[in-house]
A and B are shown apart, each in its own frame.
Chain A
């Protein structure tokens, strides 16, 4: 699944595996990210995204497989490879008793920035994350969104080649979330390679050039949004709201030909089929045959959520 010239690749992961006891958390995960590309790992909680990221950031030893950053194998002591990586952990990783500036300067020193560079970059990043006015305030006085922005700023401070963002918008208000997404878009435009994990389908669709759909530790599909949606064929999605025996209606619908899939989601029946407008009377007729009444119909193009449902049989948010 590795794309593009290897020379362009900032990150290459090959055959990563990691088990915790009986649980195979990550199973043969391989992908690569080129300069200026935003790559998304999309999957529900517990799918193995954070474990994969921990191996990519050198925090966790893979049971098998290898991570290389700019051609250098990444290990806990590989300083050059680690210098090229900026990590933004899922949880806000800052010291609440230090100010925004102090947090940035501390992590900047660990990245080996000299005093002059540290001064310059600290001011630049504070401006980038919109915290210049609050630079001297302790982080525990910040709102959740401000802490998230500082969390991202620390990851960017040393001008990494690869930025790893692990669910950066979890628990963030809509305004801050939008600001974070805009920042990530800008970073990719500036040539940064971005590895972005999320379980929000809209974020993956908006930000990522390529997306890997992760389920139970495996990448079950990978590609651009268009490519992924194409994996379920030229289908439309029909969502039926019915009053009656849902299971009986599902069985009846499954008896129809040319239906891609029929699933139950939140007491609604979700069908994938080609030419939905033409086939709709047949669907409604099948529901009526089991004595159920259709109370609502929605027809739309499928999205990544539907792809996930199609590939795994489960909803993304499960």
Chain B
């Protein structure tokens, strides 16, 4: 192990002095993320195309439908589109024709009047993150307004009516401790939650370039042959496997290091949302291992480091495109599913998306499992291929 660590230390020193590594590991992916973020900014316009469905028709619902919404239209925040019912609203939001829709369900006013929990549904089209926040904010503002009114009516009735002081106190206490009159449910249209553009690009670029970052190290003996140092290493009194172990460790450390820098930099500089960092760490390790396996397998077919580098570049680009590292693969179906499923990039992006959507570290387990499975599946033939040239 000591020999492997010595080789690891040497490789890290060489990598740090290699400016091309700094370019591939940090500068280019970060630069491209910044560039794409500038070209395609996340910020959506505040003018939302929205619909309101009033299935209740009651007085409280009317306050929202005929009071709040027209005021927003007048302020230029909303462009209101007429829909016939909730089903049409759902379809048009799912299709992206509408940015958002509010649905006031039947019985809404009655529930508010009776002090029972009521629900105002907010539908948000996929990718309209900021619009969704605005729509939810409008609904929450209305809910707070209704609560204040309900409390004022209750207090007024208690003061003017023939109620005892004990009843007044009970009503006031009830108003304070009652469940929130209106719970706002943000229901995102479509099956899939998506990352905002900056976060998507950050994750995509980081996953794409980490393949290049780990590529050289996993070539192991081929890389040492390039310096003519392999005979000297193998003639040293160390286990021959220490050479391969040291170089693999170097790839792992450099890969994880570059991903860590990119995650931190895109969070701090660009405000990218990666989700809980524990989950990100699990996915990063899985991605780096998968990248090492894939690059080692590809390199196993090469006779020289230069040839291996060419093979690796082709495979990294193809897998990156299939996995949606640059842009999400458009369309649906078996082929698209298959394409993204064989790509570590696709699994990594899926894992980050799930992590951000749920905020739960456990959400990364399917993607992390898939990445580890890819790593194992490709590592076995990779080791076999490389061992052909290791035979004494």
Contact = CB atoms under 8 A, between A and B. Distances in A.
Interface of A: 54, 57-61, 75-77, 79-80, 82-83, 85, 87, 89, 91-98, 102, 106-107, 109-112, 154
A88 to B, nearest CB: 9
Contacts of B235: 57-59, 82, 85, 87
Contact of B229 (A79, A95, A112): A95
A106 B10 contact: yes
Given A61-B391, A94-B227, A107 B236 contact: yes
B232 A154 contact: yes
Given A89-B228, A106-B10, A79 B237 contact: yes
A106 B239 CA distance: 16
B18 A93 contact: no
Nearest to A79: B237
B307 to A, nearest CB: 19
B237 A111 contact: yes
Interface string B1-33: 001001100100110011000000000000000
A75 B235 CA distance: 10
A61 B392 contact: yes
Contact of A83 (B7, B13, B237): B237
B234 A110 contact: no
A77 B239 contact: yes
A80 B240 CA distance: 14
Interface in B41-90: none
Given A76-B392, A107-B236, A112-B237, A98 B14 contact: yes
A76 B236 CA distance: 9
A76 B234 contact: yes
B240 A76 contact: yes
A110 B13 CA distance: 16
Among A57, A59, A83, residue most surrounded by chain B Cβ atoms (within 10 Å): A59
B15 to A, nearest CB: 9
A82 B236 contact: yes
B240 to A, nearest CB: 5
Given A83-B237, A92-B228, A107-B232, 10 more contacts: A58-B234, A61-B391, A77-B240, A79-B238, A87-B231, A89-B231, A93-B229, A94-B229, A98-B10, A154-B232
Interface string B222-234: 0000011101111
A59 B234 contact: yes
B231 A54 contact: yes
A95 B239 CA distance: 21
A92 B231 CA distance: 11
Contacts of B232: 87, 89, 93, 107, 154
The 5 closest A-B pairs by CB, nearest first: A79-B237, A91-B228, A82-B237, A110-B236, A87-B235
A112 B237 CA distance: 8
Contact of B233 (A61, A83, A110): A110
B3 A102 contact: no
Interface in B203-245: 227-229, 231-240
Interface residues of B, number: 23
Contacts of B392: 58-61, 75-76
A102 B236 contact: no
15 contacts: A58-B234, A58-B235, A76-B234, A76-B240, A76-B392, A77-B240, A79-B238, A87-B231, A87-B235, A93-B229, A93-B231, A95-B229, A96-B227, A110-B233, A110-B237
A270 B268 CA distance: 81
A97 B14 contact: yes
A167 to B, nearest CB: 13
B91 to A, nearest CB: 61
Contacts of B229: 93-95
A109 B6 CA distance: 7
A199 B123 CA distance: 83
Contacts of B237: 79-80, 82-83, 110-112
A270 B206 CA distance: 70
Nearest to A91: B228
Contacts of B18: 97
A64 B3 CA distance: 30
Contacts of A83: 237
A9 B235 CA distance: 20
B88 to A, nearest CB: 66
A244 to B, nearest CB: 49
B391 to A, nearest CB: 7
Given A75-B392, A110-B238, A95 B228 contact: no
B3 A110 contact: yes
Given A76-B240, A109-B6, A110-B6, A98 B13 contact: yes
Among B3, B232, B234, residue most surrounded by chain A Cβ atoms (within 10 Å): B232
A180 to B, nearest CB: 17
A209 B49 CA distance: 95
Nearest to B16: A97
Interface string B142-159: 000000000000000000
Contacts of B391: 61
Contacts of A75: 392
A102 B229 CA distance: 14
A203 to B, nearest CB: 21
Among A83, A110, A154, residue most surrounded by chain B Cβ atoms (within 10 Å): A110
Given A92-B228, A106-B10, A97 B234 contact: no
Nearest to A57: B235
Nearest to B5: A109
Among A77, A85, A87, A109, residue most surrounded by chain B Cβ atoms (within 10 Å): A109
Nearest to A110: B236
Contacts of A109: 6
A111 B228 contact: no
Contacts of A91: 228
A212 to B, nearest CB: 21
Contacts of B240: 76-77
A96 B235 CA distance: 20
Contacts of B231: 54, 57, 59, 87, 89, 93
A97 B6 contact: no
Contacts of A98: 10, 13-14
Nearest to A89: B231
B342 to A, nearest CB: 36
